[in-house]
Amino acid sequence: MTQDMLLGNEEQSKSKETFLEKFCVLAKSSTGAALLDVIRQALEAPNVFVFGELLAEPSVLQLKDGPDSKHFETLNLFAYGTYKDYRAQPEKFIELTPAMQKKLQHLTIVSLAIKAKSIPYALLLSELEIDNVRHLEDIIIEAIYAGEFV
């Protein structure tokens, strides 16, 4: 069992906040390539599922209109967007690693679950651009085990 599975909901939530805080602290003291690396690490981190606080860091906000705006846009996508948003305009974002793509799919499921108590498979297949129900079920199971639905 993973540590997250052993922790209670409150402890698990605090643990995830701690992971995010580490990236926020790093972002405060980083610029240039180091800041871009912090953003990439946060997007790939298995225990970070919320990005609003990192997005609000002054150093990150400065990326919005600069040459590294793709990093800002990608972080904004993970905070407020969906996998379909990414697929509609991939040139607007940094290239996602397989881990990032999977996390964005998980976050898309969470976004849909917030809006509806029951999500039809057809909607999930469409939103995640998956054509195989078994693959969809694997992604849902992975998201549950990752603790994204706690």
Name all contacts of 41-44 with Cβ < 8 Å and 24+ positions apart: 42/75, 43/74, 43/75, 43/78, 43/96, 43/100, 43/103, 44/97, 44/99, 44/100, 44/103
Percent pLDDT > 70 in the chain is: 87
User: Which residues have C-beta within 8 Å of that of residue 51, sequence separation ≥ 6?
Assistant: 20, 42, 43, 75, 78, 79
| Stated pTM of the model | 0.83
pLDDT tens figures, 21-73: 999 999 999 999 999 999 999 999 988 999 999 999 999 999 999 999 999 99
pLDDT of residue 17: 59
pLDDT digits (tens, 9 = 90+) for 102-114: 999 999 999 999 9
Any idea where the domains of the chain sit in the sequence? 14-80, 96-149
